[in-house]
Structure 1
C-alpha cells in the first residue's frame, strides 16, 4: 500500500515533473531498482544527475523537489553511490 504522497517509479514522470520526484523516491529505494546498475543504466532511467562527485565517493545527486508538510521542511536530494562502477547504495539527504 502506498501512502498519500507516494507513487511507483515512472521514468516519464521522473523526467517531466522534477518537482514531484519526492513521490517516487521511496519506491526507488525500497524496490532496490538501481542496485547493481551501471552509471549509463542509471542515466537511461533517471536522466543526467544534477551533480556528481568523485572526491571521496563516486556519487550521483538528483534533486527531488519539496514534499508538502505542515512544518518547514528542507529540500531533499537522492544520492546514488557507486563502487566499482555499480550502484551499491541509494539514499536521501538534505540539500546543502
Structure 2
C-alpha cells in the first residue's frame, strides 16, 4: 500500500507520523503538577511549570489557595504589581541559562495571569 502512494503523499504521511510521535513523547515525559513534589524539590519545579501554566491550574484562585498548593512564594507583591514569584530551579543544559521564576499576577486578590520571567 505504501509503495503505491505518491511521493508527496509519502512525505505528508511521514510528517504526520513524526508529529504524532513527538507530541506523544513530549506528553509522556513532561511532568504533571504534583503538590508534594513542588514543595519538596524547589530545584526541580521547572519540570512541572509548563503543566501549571498550560492547565490554567491557578487562574481564578484566591491567594490563600495558591499558597495552599504551591507553598509560600519566594517573593511577594511589589509597589507596581500584586504578584507572587516562585523560583523554579534551572534546567540542565550545555549553555549557561538565566534563572527563571513563575510569576503569578493577582487582580482583586484573584489570579489573572501565570507566566515565566527571568530572575533579576
- Give me the whole-angstrom Cα distance separating, in 2, the residues matched to 1:63 and 1:57: 18
Within-5 A mapping of 1:16-95: 16-95=40-119
Q: Is the 8 Å Cα contact of residues 50 and 62 (structure 1) preserved in structure 2?
A: yes
Task: Please identify the structure whose Cα radius of gyration is greater.
Answer: 2
Whether contact under 8 Å (1:14, 1:46) holds in the other structure is yes
Structure 1 distance, partners of 2:80, 2:29, is 33
Aligned residues: 96
- Structure ranking higher in strand proportion: 1
Gaps of 5+ in 1: none
Structure with greater contact order relative to length (CA < 8 Å, sep ≥ 6): 1
For residues 1-34 of structure 1, the C-alpha deviation after alignment (integer angstroms, 9 at most, x for no partner) is 4368731000000000000000000000000000
- Which TM-score applies when normalising by structure 2? 0.76
RMSD in angstroms over aligned alpha carbons? 1.4
1:6-64 CA-partner distances (Å, limit 9, x unpaired)? 31000000000000000000000000000000000000000010100141110000000
